[in-house]
Amino acid sequence: MSRPLLRSLLGMVASGLTLAAPALAAAAGWLALPEQAPAPADNPVTEAKVRLGKALYFDPRLSSTGTVSCNSCHNVMAGGEDGRPTSVGVGGQIGGRNAPTVWNAAFHPVQFWDGRAASLEEQALGPVTNPIEMGLPSLDVLVERLKALGYEPMFREAFGGDSPVTADNFAKAVASFERTLVTPGSPFDRWVMGERGAMTEQQVRGYERFRALGCAGCHTGPLFGARPEAPFQKFPVFADSPYVERYGLAKDTGRHEVTKRPEDRHLFRVPTLRNVAVTAPYFHNGAVATLDEAVRVMASTQLGRTLSERDVADIVAFLQALTGPFPSIEAPRLPVPVGRSVAFD
């Protein structure tokens, strides 16, 4: 919303005129989630790329054991994650961090908890060769596997050219599919667009407490997540909170593990609160099982406050209003090599 309009609305309030709460929220910069995610100029979304990316996303044969796909840890048939504290990769290995939801991930300014990937394309290649996640020894092996499985016609349709099966095109296709995974139309979205009855009185009260307490200092914009200009936040801020030791919140040093810079210790990308009610367990280590407890933890570790049970209940109710309708996802038919098997490592 423009500054002149914001000043006009605030002037109306100062003059004693009644203004609907949704309009005030919009005036303060709270916007509905866009219906379409942005795409980079070098990777516009096309139906062929989305179709290919969806198949690749669901195909466990692109892991070293033939058992782990992108969807294994980021289940789009549910909340976009796997419901575990940390994910299970090839050979039953356990990862070190909680799997973030893939729903609305296209709106994040950086990817992964530590922000080590700048784009969905870059992120898509990371798990493939991670020895714990999908475990392929190299991207060259990925390309060989794609050709052996019969993906070349789908790549040619999506990208053209004589040699379309490349790791770069793999990443572009997966990212294109992920850009379709958006969930606009939540009760909050409808409310902020003017449908006053879209949120309950308790949810509106929770929204007001969310703002008043300072939660919006980090969880901002339509994503209720990271700001592009400041995607990271220290966690925990109050290291003496009893929750820090109880849930082991300070064991992982976050972005510092990537950069090794002292100033990056315990910095994490601010997660989205979209659909947070259906993406338990919570935090980078998945140590907190319930949303109400997560609210208490955040108040204590980030704000240095202890909330009343009414405040907790109201904020949880508001966070539930950020759950959008999930589009129906039909599992794809995968290409199958004829007359031979594809061996796994």
**Domains of the chain by residue range:** 47-178, 184-320
User: Taking all residues of the chain, what is their mean pLDDT, rounded to a whole number?
Assistant: 92
Could you give the maximum distance between any two Cα atoms of the chain, in Å?
78
Q: Is 197 exposed, middle or buried (0-12, 13-18, 19+ CB in 10 A)?
A: exposed
Rounded CA-CA distance 283/113 in Å is 10
Rounded CA-CA distance 315/296 in Å is 10
CATH number of 184-320: 1.10.760.10
pLDDT in tens, 260-312: 999 999 999 999 999 999 999 999 999 999 999 999 999 999 999 999 999 99
| Residue 120 and residue 56 in contact, taking contact as beta carbons nearer than 8 Å | no
| Residue 98 and residue 281 in contact, taking contact as beta carbons nearer than 8 Å | yes
| Residue 6 and residue 26 in contact, taking contact as beta carbons nearer than 8 Å | no
- Residue 9 pLDDT > 80: no
Residues annotated as catalytic are 133
pLDDT in tens, 188-240: 999 999 999 999 999 999 999 999 999 999 999 999 999 999 999 999 999 99
Average pLDDT over residues 109-114: 98
Q: How far is the first Cα of the chain from the last one, in angstroms, to the nearest whole number?
A: 54
pLDDT at 30: 80
Whether the domain at 47-178 and the domain at 184-320 fall into the same CATH topology: yes
Collapsing DSSP to helix, strand or coil, 269 comes out as strand
Rounded CA-CA distance 29/75 in Å is 31
Of 10-19, 143-152, 225-234, 279-288, the poorest mean pLDDT is in 10-19
Rounded CA-CA distance 300/236 in Å is 9
Third-level CATH fold of 47-178: Cytochrome Bc1 Complex; Chain D, domain 2 (1.10.760)
pTM: 0.91
| Residue 142 and residue 63 in contact, taking contact as beta carbons nearer than 8 Å | no
DSSP state of 250: T
